[in-house]
A and B are shown apart, each in its own frame.
Chain A
Amino acid sequence: EPEVTQTPSHQVTQMGQEVILRCVPISNHLYFYWYRQILGQKVEFLVSFYNNEISEKSEIFDDQFSVERPDGSNFTLKIRSTKLEDSAMYFCASSTLAGSYNEQFFGPGTRLTVL
């Protein structure tokens, strides 16, 4: 069964450093998403991406965040200058179509720890 993959599974970084989290969405999917989950809290939407553009973003997704699809398979989330409060599990998701009724498939997540 096709699945979303993410690397690394765990990233430890120092405050102020840049990190890039990588995702390989399911191959025939066209819509891509990032969510985050701070330990013990709910899953929160960060951004959705289609046709090489951001289609929607949340208040959390400020100027220190960016997303990119550098080639035909990878989808990345960059955090420019990490803060302690960026420590969280980051989930990538993808879907075939947009819209309310289309299932989003989640990857296993990258645990980001900012020291």
Chain B
Amino acid sequence: RKEVEQDPGPFNVPEGATVAFNCTYSNSASQSFFWYRQDCRKEPKLLMSVYSSGNEDGRFTAQLNRASQYISLLIRDSKLSDSATYLCVVNLGGNKLVFGAGTILRVKS
């Protein structure tokens, strides 16, 4: 089983749509969780950390379910500039980040 699993997409949505991405992780000892964004041929950039209580940053909401080992990201009112690959990332407790393969989002006008 992959350490971090994501639906690769692509998700093709119109501007203004709400879109949700899911991610599962295999190691129950995982300690911290993140969503990163990666534009084509660029470096990953932190979008937000994910907490058990859920957290929101503007149009973005992240949720963590430790019991199900499941992480989600909700994007409301999608913009063209949201088009990117969204990476689910897990830290097992050391310094090593474990990345999912990413979910491609394409927002169209």
Interfacial residues, chain A to chain B (CB-CB below 8 A)? 31, 33, 35, 41-45, 48, 50, 55-56, 58, 89, 91, 95, 98-101, 103-104, 106-109, 111
Verify B49–A101 contact, CB threshold 8 A. Answer: yes
- CB A34 to nearest CB in B, in angstroms, measures 11
Verify A106–B43 contact, CB threshold 8 A. Answer: yes
Q: Which of A42, A56, A89, A109 contacts B94 (CB 8 A)?
A: A56
The residues of A that contact B31 with a CB separation of less than 8 Å are 100-101
Verify B95–A108 contact, CB threshold 8 A. Answer: no
Verify A58–B44 contact, CB threshold 8 A. Answer: no
The residues of B that contact A50 with a CB separation of less than 8 Å are 95
The residues of A that contact B43 with a CB separation of less than 8 Å are 91, 106-109
Given A48-B95, A55-B95, do A41 and B101 touch, yes or no (CB 8 Å)? yes
Tell me, in angstroms, the Cα distance from A100 to B29 when the chains sit together: 12
Q: In this assembly, does B96 line the interface, its C-beta being within 8 Å of a C-beta of chain A?
A: yes
The residues of B that contact A103 with a CB separation of less than 8 Å are 46, 49
Closest to B51 in A: A101
Tell me, in angstroms, the Cα distance from A86 to B87 when the chains sit together: 22
